[in-house]
Structure 1
Amino acid sequence: MTFSPGSGNKRAVNHDGALPGAAEDREEARRRAAAFSAHRRAVCRDELCRASAACGLVWLVVYQVLAVFASDSWAAPLVTDALYLLPIGAAAVAGVFAVRASSGRLRRIWAWLAVSHVCWLIGEVIWSVWGVWLSDDRLAAAVDTDKSIPLSDVAYTVSYAALVPAAWIGFVETRRLWRARALLDAALVVLAVGSIGWRLLSGSDPVNPDVLVDLAYPAVGLLFVLALIGAGLSGHRGVPCSILLTLVGFGIGIVADAGYAFADAGNSFSDTSPLNLGWQAQAVFLTLGGVAAIRHPDVEPPVERFDHDRAFGAVLISGLVVALLVGVDQIRNQKVDTVWLGVTALVLAGLLARQALTTRERTRLAKELDEALQEQRRTAVTDGLTGLYNRPFFQALLGVEARRALHGNGRAALILVRLDSFAGIGEQHDWAAGDTVLVQVADRLRIAARPGDVLARYGVEEFACLLPQTDEEAAMEVAERFRQALRRTSIVVGSGASVAVTASFGVATATGQTALAEDDDEPMLDMDRLVRDADRALNDANERGGDRVVVAGRADRRTLADDVDVPPELAWLADRVDRVLSDHEHSTAVARWCLLVGGYLALDHIELRQVVAAGRLHDIGKFGVGAAILRKTDPLTDAEWGALRCHPEEGARLLRGVGGHAALAPLVAAHHERWDGLGYPEGIKGEDIPLGARIIAVCDSWAAMRVDRPYAPALNTRAARDEIERARGTQFDPIVVDAFLALLDQDLIDDPLPL
């Protein structure tokens, strides 16, 4: 296969072919980080946010003053049950409006936070109504441990439960394993903290429902806070300003909930407790978070995918804490309680699960790193648009080939390709059309190249092909294949317009006898000279109008088909016959396709030139048949068929009479012979027919079927292909048919051009 990287990865590039690199990625990261910092500063400077913070501070002072002075008066319920609800209600309203103001991932986080705020408000309303409108006896009965948990506790529980999906969404752009590990880390820390609280509060009763409910509130809140803090410590992403304020609020709430758990365990909590100020402060910060999200919808913070795993220390300490508590229980009671065995089992299971998640995550990261390194190596040597090698790598390969060539036949060839009028494509269409053309050109060159040829993008509209162990004639043939591959059909760009593409080709060769460079260590081919020669030939081809192949140090070679030694008078006869038969070229197209098929079958250069020349002149014998017979639409008579079937021998006779071209006569004479022996004029068959004649036969039939003739309309490509396949092994040599169809499948067989 051709030595050029695959074209599967065609990353977006600018119109001059520049490949976005790490510098652009770093600049984008800096831009996002700057936008994130600017957003935080905007929140801090916002007048409404500042006013809200000031009002919150004033409210906390006023509330505490009222709570102190009204603690033993009739106004106590007004302060602790009615005014107490104001900041919580404000937090719920702000959370709902924050959902409307946010978008994307942050909107989903705020949706769950709003649910949490509203449920908290509902729970407090139920509790306040319970305390104000029910008698103390009924209230005491309602909250007795032997009775059902009040509805307020249900609302509180839902309020905290809504924080878990909010924390999960906080890791939405990380892997599922990473999210699971982060929440598991937080859960293990919460379990350790809860174990300490359980030991301090439960006393001799290891299973106390009141303690379970009291500890559940701060535990779930702590889970939410630790999970998001763990994300920040692990370097995943920054925390948006509104979420940061919300985290502060929940942090204060956790402290208040923990204080409530201890106070309730000692039956020392009352509605006028100073702990209410903590929940009021929590509500104030939740309100500020909502206001910040409303006023300045959060900018998505920049993502950093490195993982410092800083949470591992906290997880390890958590395991040690549980182990210490189990040890204390063993020393004090001479046994380990079932509850502590369960807690220990949970911690051990959590640690094992964490290790499994960490191992899987590290394995995935190692795999991604290896893939990234492979991609980096590939992009370091390839052009991002076309998938071919880039110029720096190609130049390095030239140096390698300069030394390697002398270990073979001491030859190397270089083809430089420049698209004609490429700048006009951008002017007439747009840069995207230019990119489309470059990609299509690269694909066509890749298909037309030989095995072992090295293709590269050499400039904006330039390409290069290094041909190891190749002489001048073979290099010219490859260049001609390239030229035909580019010009055969137009390229359709994004706007639907068709763009005709031609190119200029400069060919140069180097050998051990003519182009050795001086080197202190070892002899090598002079690749600098090779590049200069090819560049001069390329400029010469461009100055001569383009769409041609020029070999360094030789005259202009528009095509090999035109370059073969064909007597002008015989070429004139061939063209006259073509004009009688059709308004499209025939003999020139046959010669062009003979070149491709012969090259595909690896004919030597002399034989290939003979086939091309014979293809150009194969119908000159029809000049003596007469235009009336050639243009006749009705079936021919036997006499007319006899006259027509003489044209192969007549053409051969003309060639034998022209000095130096007798070798073409057998090819022209046999181009209507059939593989099965039913052809004319001699009825020879199989390999007795010269290979060149067998090639001309297939190309001649294709040319006749693809254009309108007096006796038959043109066939489309599918129908003509079917006819060629149907005649394989009967009319045509199977090997030649297979070669022709392979070239057709590669879109190298172009259509005959109008005359």
Structure 2
Amino acid sequence: MTFSPGSGDKRAVNHDGALPGAAEDREEDRRRAAAFSAHRRAVCRDELCRASAACGLAWLVLYQVFAVFASDSWAAPLVTDALYLLPIGAAAVAGVFAVRASTGRIRKIWTWLAVSHVCWLVGEVVWSVWGVWLADDRLTAAVDTDKSLPVSDVAYTVAYAALVPAAWIGFVETRKLWRARALLDAALVVLAVGSIGWRLLSGADPVNPDVLVDLAYPAVGLLFVLALIGAGLSGHRGVPCSILLTVIGFGVGIVADAGYAFADAGNSFSDTSLLNLGWQTQAVFLTLGGLAAIRHPDVEPPMERFDHDRAFGAVLISGLVVALLVGVDQIRNQKVDTVWLGVTALVLAGLLARQALTTRERTRLAKQLDEALQEQRRTAVTDGLTGLYNRPFFQALLGVEARRALHGNGRAALILAHLDSFAGIGEQHDWAAGDAVLVQVADRLRIAARPGDVLARYGVEEFACLLPQTDEEAAMEVAERFRQALRRTSIVVGSGASVAVTASFGVATATGQATLAEDDDEPTLDMDRLVRDADRALNDAKERGGDRVVVAGRADRRTLADDVDVPPELAWLADRVDRVLSDHEHSTAVARWCLLVGGYLALDHIELRQVVAAGRLHDIGKFGVGAAILRKTDPLTDAEWGALRCHPEEGARLLRGVGGHAALAPLVAAHHERWDGLGYPEGIKGEDIPLGARIIAVCDSWAAMRVDRPYAPALDARSARDEIERARGTQFDPIVVDAFLALLDQDLIDDPLPL
């Protein structure tokens, strides 16, 4: 695992360090807040709405004047039973049209409000018609009044019951905890208010059941208003204009209903009572609310991100009121009534439940804030798209590593990588394809890096890797692993499209006192020079066509296999043999994989170079076998098989005859020996076989199985892997097999390329 945080996180991060989800939420909040404010201003400035409000106020004044002057006259029923219905009818009509004008959640709210308005109108019509009917003495004796009046009560009950789903839908976007607590708060307040009403009415003994029914109406209305305001403001930063006007209307109606209950208990209600004016005011506000929804359909208010617990004061006062009433009852009667004990128990249970909900919400908020803080810390040092370190942190880390390096072996290496033709990906596809490429490139680099290597996204299409305590040869090997990891397979960018990705690599090293910064107070490696050298090497790699590794101060290095000293004439022989056997590369692929396996097994640089060179030339002995035998599809005869089995020794003989390459001969001669001793030409086994030859044997078999040969078709990767695993401990060295399969699992073993 490389030293790169957030390896699984591919969420993009804005420049301010915030996750895109959080940024989108904030943008949505700003959009909603702006639209909400603009909507309120539009309603307030609407000339028709203003005129309607003025007409409503004028109506209230005229109605009360008519009621006073018509009192105890023939015109009294006209005012109290006919004119009285006009604003209520207007509210019902406005509610119905508000449903048609609204959309989304607001439309659902208005649907239930319209039901409530219509039911209220029905109840009032029944009541008014029945009042006119009863005014006729000839009809009074013909009917049973007690059987008809409940019709209006049913309509009133449905009108208030419809407010419950309206309130619930009103804060459907609010968190469940907030909704539950808002309903609990409303219930506690209603309980306290009901307790006060009961105390005031308890002097009339016995209490008329009709009065209790009358009290139920304002109780339900109060529950609706408190629940809507409590939960609505807990989950949102405001209430839509039409809903706000409706809530005000019901608030006035609650006061009128409560007043009617007390007046009815004392038999003091009259048609000219100011309570009628209260219901008229309610109807005016409901009409204005419906008109506002028709003229300017409500927009969603901005969401509330944090719980401000605005209802705590009201709930606390409610609890204190109940406690005070219990105390008064105790003092007056020297005992506590069981009813009050029950009420007190309900209040205490409600307060405890509320505290539990509040504590849970606070815990959730604390956890959310902690996660946000951790995410902020992470995004401060990492690139949100790739999960690698970002450039500012990487540059700061260079300074730390500069001083730490001198406490070790006094050296460090840096690899800079630049994706070749990355701009063309965006032109051919889109920005999402570019992001997908960057994410997958980062993943491949992360897998190919060593433990302790520090990866970072250094630019839009550039990556950097700091290799602590690493010399030039090891850094070049890591860079080559990076290069192979990128070029091995295409990257899928969506909709079945794929792109081939290669990169240019610049490698530089800083070693010992040679690169000390002269202006430092204490000895440090000169990281500025290290970065400059790596950048120059990177530019050189790009100028040479890309898809190569260049080491600062050295010649062009496409691969380590190209860097080893392989005589051109022998490389030519190896390529000729490859072309006879297949239309895909063979010896070059074997050399490439030998580099990876040897590096995985931590071979020293000299031995690794020898293994790579021997892998490149391992089949040159087949040049003298003859194309007819190499291309034969039928089983070989004994003579043909004998000629083929001589090619390892023949290849070794050729290498001994070339000055300076005799050390490669034992590796080429033994690359067909088996771990169990059943190989050829000598039949040696186990660790008597040179390690380099054991590495070549595995890589050679993999290359032969993965392409079509004259004597056998190609195997897929799964089948070829199974063959390698089956030969572990018999044909192949188990340690070499394990290393090869580990590299295969990391997708570092690529497929042979076509010639």
- Normalised by the length of structure 1, the TM-score is 0.94
- Counterpart Cα distance in 1 of 2:139 and 2:601: 101
Structure 1: distance between partners of 2:266 and 2:16:
77
CA deviation digits over 1:332-383, x for unaligned, max 9? 2222222222222221111111111111111121111111111111122111
8 Å Cα contact 2:17-2:376 kept in structure 1: no
SS at structure 2 position matched to 1:417: strand
Q: Deviations over 1:471-526 (max 9, x none)?
A: 11111111000001111111121243221111110111112322223576643222
Change (3 A) 1:58 1:7: farther
CA apart distance, 1:316 = 1.6
Tell me, yes or no, if the aligned pair for 1:231 and 1:237 is still in contact at 8 Å. no
After superposing the two structures, state which structure 1 stretch, 260-269 or 6-15, moved more. 6-15
Q: Is the 8 A contact 2:625 2:643 kept in 1?
A: yes
Provide the C-alpha distance between the structure 1 equivalents of 2:213 and 2:574, rounded to a whole number of angstroms.
103
**d(CA) in 1 for partners of 2:72, 2:558:** 109
C-alpha contact (below 8 Å) 1:167/1:227 kept by paired residues: yes
**What is the distance in 2 between the residues matched to 1:641 and 1:67?**
123
**Is contact 1:584-1:752 (8 Å) kept?**
yes
Q: 1:143 to 1:483 in 2, by over 3 A?
A: farther
- CA 1:345–1:728: 2 relative to 1, 3 Å: same
TM-fit CA distance, 1:190: 2.0
What is the match of residue 606 of structure 1? Answer: 606
Deviation at 1:594, TM superposition (A): 1.0
Task: Tell me how far 1:399 sits from its aligned partner.
Answer: 1.9
1:77, distance to aligned residue in structure 2 (A): 2.9
Q: Is the 8 A contact 1:581 1:630 kept in 2?
A: yes
In the superposition, relative to structure 1, how do residues 210 and 495 fare at CA in structure 2: closer, same or farther (>3 Å)? same
Counterparts of residues 174-323 of structure 1 (less than 5 Å): 174-205=174-205, 208-231=208-231, 236-323=236-323
Q: Conserved in 2, the CA contact under 8 Å of 1:15 and 1:431?
A: no
Structure 1 residue 271: Cα displacement: 3.4
Pair 1:696 & 2:691 matched: no
Structure 1, residues 246-301: CA drift from partner, whole Å, max 9, x if none?
11111111121122122111111133433122112212211221222222222211
Tell me the secondary structure at the aligned position of residue 108 of structure 2. helix
Cα 1:199–1:120 change in 2 (3 A) is: same
Cα deviation code 1:62-87 (max 9, x no counterpart): 43343334333344334323333332
Change in 2 beyond 3 A, CA 1:287/1:344: same
Is the partner of 1:464 in helix, strand or coil? strand
Q: Which segment drifts farther, 192-201 or 641-650?
A: 192-201
Q: Deviations over 1:361-417 (max 9, x none)?
A: 111211111111111111221111111111111112222212222222222111111
Note the C-alpha offset of 1:534.
1.0
How far, CA to CA, are the matches of 1:37 and 1:368 in structure 2?
Answer: 29
In the alignment, the residues of structure 1 paired with residue 501 and residue 453 of structure 2 have an alpha-carbon distance, to the nearest angstrom, of: 22
CA distance in 1, matches of 2:137, 2:602: 107
Any conservation in 1 of the 2:173–2:235 contact (CA below 8 Å)?
Answer: no
Q: Tell me how far apart the structure 2 counterparts of residues 750 and 419 of structure 1 sit (CA, whole Å).
A: 19
The alpha-carbon deviation at position 421 of structure 1 amounts to 1.1
Point out the more displaced range, 60-69 or 249-258.
60-69
Separation in 2 of the partners of 1:141 and 1:7?
89
Deviation (angstroms), 1:652:
0.8
In structure 2, the CA distance between the partners of 1:163 and 1:542, relative to structure 1 (3 Å rule), is: same
Aligned partners of 1:17 and 1:460 also within 8 Å: no
Summarize the Cα distance change of 1:584–1:31 in structure 2 as closer, same or farther, 3 Å threshold: same
Residues 180-214 of structure 1, C-alpha deviations (whole Å, 9 max, x = no match): 11222222222222222221123153765333222
Quote the offset at 1:574 in angstroms: 0.4
1:709 Cα offset (Å): 1.5
CA gap 1:568/1:742 in 2 versus in 1, 3 angstroms: same
Q: Deviations over 1:714-749 (max 9, x none)?
A: 222222222222222222222222222222222211
**C-alpha separation in 1, matches of 2:145 and 2:400:** 86
Are 1:593 and 1:699, in contact at CA under 8 Å, matched by a contact in 2?
Answer: yes
C-alpha spacing 1:111/1:600, structure 2 compared with 1 (3 Å): farther
Whether 1:440 and 2:440 are equivalent positions in the alignment is: yes
Question: Cα offset for 1:12?
Answer: 4.5
1:268-667 matched pairs, under 5 angstroms = 268-518=268-518, 522-667=522-667
Shift of 1:14: 8.6
Do the aligned partners of 2:178 and 2:234 also contact (CA within 8 Å) in 1?
Answer: no
Preserved CA contact (<8 Å) 1:236 1:307: no
**1:698-722 alpha-carbon deviations (Å, 9 max, x no partner):** 1111111221212222222222222
Greater alpha carbon shift after TM alignment, 310-319 vs 447-456: 310-319
Q: Could you tell me how far apart the structure 2 residues matched to 1:71 and 1:385 are? A: 78
Residue aligned with 2:464, SS: strand
Distance 1:57 1:125 in 2: 23
Cα offset, 1:678, TM superposition: 1.6
After the TM superposition, which of the residue ranges 264-273 and 629-638 deviates more from structure 2?
264-273
SS at match of 2:484: helix
Q: 1:72 to 1:722 in 2, by over 3 A?
A: same
499-508 or 192-201, which moves further after superposition? 192-201
Range moving further from structure 2, 464-473 or 130-139: 130-139
The change in CA–CA distance for 1:519 and 1:299 in structure 2 (over 3 A counts) is farther
> Share of identical aligned residues, percent?
95
Once the two structures are TM-superposed, the CA of residue 418 in structure 1 deviates from its matched residue by 0.5
Given the superposition, is the C-alpha separation of residues 191 and 177 from structure 1 closer, same or farther in structure 2, using an over 3 Å criterion?
same
SS of the counterpart of 2:418? strand
Q: Which moved more, 1:140-149 or 1:183-192?
A: 140-149
* Conservation of the 8 A alpha-carbon contact between 1:242 and 1:293: yes
Deviates more, 1:546-555 or 1:201-210: 201-210
Please say if residues 17 and 385 of structure 1, whose CA atoms lie closer than 8 Å, have aligned partners that are also in contact.
no
Q: Could you tell me whether the CA contact under 8 Å between 1:202 and 1:211 is conserved in 2?
A: no
**Residue pair 2:420, 2:501 contacting (<8 A) in 1 also:** yes
Q: Are residues 19 and 217 of structure 1, via their aligned partners in 2, closer, same or farther at CA, if it must alter by over 3 Å?
A: closer
Work out whether residues 235 and 308 of structure 1, in 8 Å CA contact, stay in contact via their aligned partners in 2. Answer: no
Q: Tell me if structure 2 keeps the 8 A contact 1:145–1:210.
A: no
Q: For 1:653-706, what per-residue CA distance to the aligned partner results, in whole angstroms no more than 9, with x for missing partners?
A: 111111221121111111111222221111122222222111111111111122
Displacement of 1:21 in angstroms is 9.4
Instruction: Decide whether aligned partners of structure 1 residues 61 and 8 sit closer, same or farther in structure 2, where only a CA change above 3 A counts.
Output: farther
Corresponding residue SS for 1:456: strand
With 239-248 and 30-39 compared, the bigger mean Cα shift is at 30-39
Deviations 1:591-642 (A, max 9, x none): 1111111222222222211111111000000011111111112221110000
Q: Residues 140, 227 of structure 1: CA spacing in aligned structure 2 closer, same or farther, 3 A cutoff?
A: farther
Q: Given the two structures, how large is their TM-score scaled by the length of structure 2? A: 0.94
* 3-state DSSP of counterpart to 1:537: helix
Provide the C-alpha distance between the structure 1 equivalents of 2:261 and 2:144, rounded to a whole number of angstroms: 15
* Secondary structure, counterpart of 2:510 in structure 1: strand
SS at 1:664 equivalent: helix
- CA separation of 1:140/1:705 partners in 2, compared to 1, >3 Å: closer, same or farther? farther
Asked if structure 2 preserves the Cα contact closer than 8 Å seen for 1:577 and 1:623, the reply is yes
CA contact (8 A) 1:16 1:460 kept: no
| Matches of 1:421 and 1:206, distance apart in 2 | 92
Q: 1:715 to 1:543 in 2, by over 3 A?
A: same
Q: How many aligned residue pairs are there?
A: 755
